[in-house]
Chains A and B, each alone.
Chain A
Amino acid sequence: MVMSVAQQQGFRVGIDVGGTFTDIVFGDLKTGTLFNYKEPSTPDDPSRGVMSGLRAAMERFEIAPSAVLAIVHGTTIGLNAVLQRKGAKLALVVSKGNRDILEIARGSMPSPYDMYAQKDVPLVPRNLVFECGARGGPDGATVAFPEAEEIEALAARLRDAEVESVAVVILHSYANRTLERELIGALSARLPGLEFTASSDVWPEMREYERALVACLNAFIVPLKRRYFERLESGLRSLGIDSPILISTSNGGCISVAAARDRPIETILSGPASGVVAASGLALTLPNRNAVTVDMGGTSADMSVCEDGRPHTTTATHIGEFPLVTPVVGVSAIGAGGGSILWVDSEGLLKVGPESAGADPGPVCFGRGGDRPTLTDCYVALGFIDPDHFLGGRMSLDRDAAHDALRDIGRRLGFSGPDASERAASAGVRIATAKMAGELLKGLARQGADPRDYVLVPYGGAGPTNAAFLAEEARIRRIAVPQAPGLFCALGALTSDLRRDFVRSLPKRLSDNLGKPIAEIFAELAASGSDWLSQERIADADRTLRFSLDMRYRGQAYDIEVVAPQEVALSGDVARILEQFHDEHLSVHGFSDRSAPTEFCNLRVVAVGHTDKPPASRAAAVDSPPEPIRRPCYLADGWTEAIVHQRADLATGRVVQGPAVLEQDDTTVVVPPGWQVEVAEQGHLDIVRKGSS
């Protein structure tokens, strides 16, 4: 029996495995209370850190294993395996004449200016790419299929190659999925135990190179992901947790561990996506529901855009040097993180990054051997971060060492006098901020968005510290700092819905009547989506199917996505779809041409199974908050007395004028002069530029 989880009581658990810490958040589905726990990560086998963290957290918060109703887990194992090239030994089977599909790729080079640039090293070397006589046509026809003898020979070559995993990419298989299935059927009968990935099963979209990459990436990480999930499952069972295990996906949703085992490619970028999901949840509570998120951690800052409370997804992202076309939450790097190093170049200009001190040795003030100042050292020198209360006092920082290192930078910039180190620190923050603002504006320009319509949602350890400077520079008027910005990715995992994307490219048909094939394919995709949601035991009331088409004017090289209402999609109502395409084109590209011929490329269905989420919890009322202290901060090129609050001491509705610093365990919020902060009803901090709200 399928049953809704909506009425259940207990906890939903989000787990995010980062490079340094494994973050665990328990969300009480009844009260909305969140319990956070940080456990050092165990990079050699991340499931160990997950287990020890869960055990310790359940003990501390007195939560019984049986009260855990679902675990949502984000992992970067697949991503790291690709970046470090530590996946399975792989072979690739392609159509005749197509052996160099990975060597040629899309033909361009990573840097046009660099005469020493090398092209990407293919996931499968040329000698492990095998051609075979299978081939389709653009109309879905089978142009060629190999005889038994050729299949036998191919199987022998694969056996001799001693590979663990095989990707199969046949030309036009998106329009004829039996081609690869039959070929794999014939091969796997001869090669038991070998993993096969059919490109048309993982991602049946036209464009052979991109589809081949999805298949190869999947095949590359299938064996190690399978092993990891086995360890995870048995570990959880040994803790007495028998709840469903869900794995965060790159599209901002999650899927069951069983689905993730077969298609690990869907989980590859889940880490950054989860944070954005949490931010979009916050954006939904804001007046215009548009947010630009900035996740600023130790080594870098990433941005993404949420429009109307929905994260922007993209089908043009990269895994290392490889393009990825499956829909993922759009996240792009915009510059420095807290560990980014300040240096003075040969011409005397101050630079911040791209080199980072990372966690080891870390900033100078960590006292772990780092001798080059970082942005974090700047925050300390400027008085933003209290060296005695970093991470809630778990770590004490060496402020003098930070000053000394910054004074040296100041000297090389020609600064003298008692505040040379503060001036250097202030310059470092301004330069890093200018760079971030530039990238942020470019990211918005790509989507034709105006920064003045967006609220900045900063998270990660350094995000809220730098947020107001960034907003000032990018002319953003409002900032919303979430409750636990340092645990945002785990929170995002916890609050994500089940979600899978399904795609089919429309085969080329000569007839004018496109309505019929469109209706047929949408019906197929909808059935796939519904079947999946049933497998995941999602009740009918908690299901959503979203239908869309990629369309273009004939001759254009780029598609736009047109969302169609369900009845329009399932009836193949071409006239209404076209109408919507023209409107959408006008709004995205600034023009439309109703007389121009159009083309349909891909049909998509997104299946969503809504999960139960903890209700938003308000900041607790504080009976007698302690008197705030004051401390000098170097803001606007001089020392000024800032008022310092513990965030936990501020009740809902409380307003504090800048200059102010709000401290919490996982970050420090800086409110410069000219800005004010209010503890919002929904629990976040609402920071606005005075006179602009």
Chain B
Amino acid sequence: MLTTPQDFRLPEPLKLDCGRELKEVNIRFETVGTLNADRSNAILINHALTGDAHVCGKHSPEDRKPGWWDTMIGPGKGIDTDKYFVICSNVLGGCSGTTGPLSIDPDTGKPYNLNFPVITVADMVRAQKALIDHLGIKKLLAVVGGSMGGMQVLEWAVSYPEMMKCVIPIATTSRMSAQGIAFDWIGREAIQSDPQWHDGNYKAFSSNPGRGLAVARMIAHITYLSDESMTRKFGRNLQNKESYSFDFAHDFAVESYLEYQGRRFVERFDANSYCYITRATDYFDLTAHAGGDLDKALENVKADFLVVSFSSDWLFPPSDSHELVRALLRNRKKVSYSDVQSSYGHDAFLLEVETLSRMIRDFLNNQMQEVVNV
């Protein structure tokens, strides 16, 4: 299945939570499947921290890898593109086609770099809402996403309660924890302590804080795994050697693995974008406009919820999802909740394909049925 990236330029400046406005915002997005006659089969997918609009399929048959959630989305899959019209867009602040710190500031003709305003998850969603309006969709069947994608899902449900039949927030939280903020801080510190960073103007110096960004990625990557999954995958195995080297080069398989993950990440991601997007997740607190009261924050949501967590996820632990589910129940909202047994940690949302696909397929089936019956 081949997909084509598309661009949408917001006709109006985008008002941001920080008080500033962004002009000429571009949104990179992809769609798969066909929108039905009454435009009732559209599903919006929100990607996680470092994802992009390329959610499934390939851009050309020669592509080495398909989109980031190809195991879930496609013909006959959990989110069946024979039935549904799937939309995925790159987040505001990203570096994969949507306006972000790499983009040219129309006022100066130069890249924004650190002149890019600090954005929030609500800003990302506001930009996305303009895209959905542009596509002529009044009501989405579902808004789906994991991790930071799940934050956007929750923001959608609260900000535009009339605009979807259901939401599926996966492995996420209604407010970023101190632990999450702490890891993000260290990630940004790694980037910004790299001598190549030049206060975010590295492009002007033809440099790149690649080491800092790689370290940030390695730290973050550990938070996506679990003790059990790391033990299972690497144990104390040595990498291509029989005994310790008695120096500080890679001895252990886990070290090589992290190094590889860091290196690969630098090839595809921009350091400033990483700083901006992690900051947006730090600021994410669904209760901010409700005096810290999650019950109150969820008062007006209309969507049916399927909340999914993973037992070994310690970045956004099941207790975060419990908190969300309890608040929804106190508000008498229609909610289903499943805590999937998995040893994969936070990454489980991309790896527990079979369980998650079945659950999402069944849930969407019933939701679509309800839409058709109305």
Q: Do A and B bind each other?
A: no
A residues bordering B, Cβ < 8 Å? none
List residues of B whose CB falls within 8 A of some A CB: none
